[in-house]
Structure 1
């Protein structure tokens, strides 16, 4: 099996590369992106300039690259649309023409903001934010194509994610963290995301839905994450709680509750609590 990873130097892409480098079933990893260590340069804003013959022997393309800042997608809608939709659509079409199977990284932002809703793989998508609309557009274009699948991510926790890193840096500097609340997601760890990607590409034909929601079972706030860090680090993190104004929630719902009908049913991920998840994350930082 030969894999291409678009966005190999990004947050999740780095973990995917490290994982598949140790996988005996993966013969080669083709790194696509704009960084200096890419095997081939790819700029999704100019996707038509890429030499697609490079994908002729690739079995799976894992497409992690996108502009994922909700605020940037709102403030520069046209520029982000060019990358997240126009360029991404062009790249996926050409990759499928090269007989690649494409795994697209989507988001729980595709669902919108329905009060009290718990979204699963079959829930209607009604994105209200620019970022969510961009991810939904790609899903809608390709969801009937058997060479396309998507994974929808909730907030992905690791020792390197923005919020956990912020909390740990505050501890290191002896500063008090400022935590926005309410802000809830069904957090998942980056290692769980990698495991889900591995399962999906190796079970492509037996998994019939076009999308897999990758989310934890518990609805978790940023305050809960901070408290779990304190539970592990003996109260080292001091914080205040800020209730942000409407501008913060304009581009991101306060609560998005997403679940999967398949993660535990198909034994894709272990059935563990968020406490166990984040403790594993913090343990890894010691290694």
Structure 2
């Protein structure tokens, strides 16, 4: 199978390509330098050239706070770029997977959001990803829409790397303790996404490592596993104001994965241990 992956320069796209190659699949990863997804002709030309059997669309504008002001570019990448790729996918008749986000929900309550729950994004980034979902559903009868959350990978920056960097000079940190979600290792996620794209079990899915925690609890576990004595003070969202509103509830139900024969991912604590070991091994 020949799979085109956008967002290859990011955390998830990189691991999807790496995992596909390990399985003996033909992988074609493209980052910003190789493809401007906001240029419709460029998108169609590349898809015609590669002639993939499937497209995994990981590329996105993900600067959540900057998106509130940089709206034109955010829309162009997350909405128009997705539209062009979905149209190209339809034109050549290949499977399409769109990577979405927990930010499509309003983030209230305490119950995990189901795949069928109404979406109501609070910020502009979430709005553009929500619009991307709608476009994919409208254009393609058969597709995968996979909502993910709190990802971390070897390739790129993330919360874990930030915590480890801060711990080099700080022995006490304030971290938000009232936002709940599931940290997710892109290594685990990439395996699941490829398992999915090799089937015709199309639909909307939630995919993340198992278990829930707050950012403060996540930080505590990071420092515990690396043996760093850093005091983590759990603060409220209101005590750490940001340009964009963050969801306090990013819990997502993964029941649909099991219903369709896919395996749940490992617990987030296990994924963190695996990731830290990979970091120590130089990301191999």
Q: TM-score, normalised by structure 2?
A: 0.87
Q: 1:268: which partner in 2?
A: 262
Q: CA deviation at 1:107?
A: 0.4
Is 1:8 the counterpart of 2:4 in the alignment? Answer: no
Q: CA deviation at 1:128?
A: 2.4
Query: What SS does the aligned partner of 2:56 have?
Result: strand
Q: Which runs of 4+ in 1 moved over 6 A?
A: none
Change (3 A) 1:120 1:90: same
Query: What SS does the aligned partner of 1:179 have?
Result: strand
Q: 1:66: which partner in 2?
A: 60
Question: Using the alignment, how far apart are the partners of 1:271 and 1:89 within structure 2?
Answer: 30
How many correspondences in the alignment? Answer: 277
2:179 to 148, 169, 183: 183
Q: 2:207: which partner in 1?
A: 214
| Higher RCO (CA 8 Å, separation ≥ 6 residues) | 2
Question: Using the alignment, how far apart are the partners of 2:66 and 2:243 within structure 1?
Answer: 14
Q: CA deviation at 1:3?
A: 0.8
1:43 to 32, 36, 44: 36
Is the 1:52–1:98 contact (alpha carbons within 8 Å) kept by the matching residues of 2? no
Q: Which runs of 5+ in 1 are unaligned?
A: 36-40
Q: 1:101: which partner in 2?
A: 95
Is 1:163 the counterpart of 2:156 in the alignment? Answer: no
Is the 1:96–1:147 contact (alpha carbons within 8 Å) kept by the matching residues of 2? no
Question: Using the alignment, how far apart are the partners of 1:252 and 1:235 within structure 2?
Answer: 28
Q: CA deviation at 1:90?
A: 2.0
Q: 1:38: which partner in 2?
A: none
**How well do the aligned residues superpose, as a CA RMSD in angstroms?**
2.4
Q: Which runs of 5+ in 2 are unaligned?
A: none
Q: CA deviation at 1:82?
A: 1.5
Query: What SS does the aligned partner of 1:67 have?
Result: coil
Q: CA deviation at 1:248?
A: 2.3
Question: Using the alignment, how far apart are the partners of 1:178 and 1:237 within structure 2?
Answer: 10
Question: Using the alignment, how far apart are the partners of 1:237 and 1:100 within structure 2?
Answer: 49
Is 1:139 the counterpart of 2:133 in the alignment? Answer: yes
Q: TM-score, normalised by structure 1?
A: 0.86
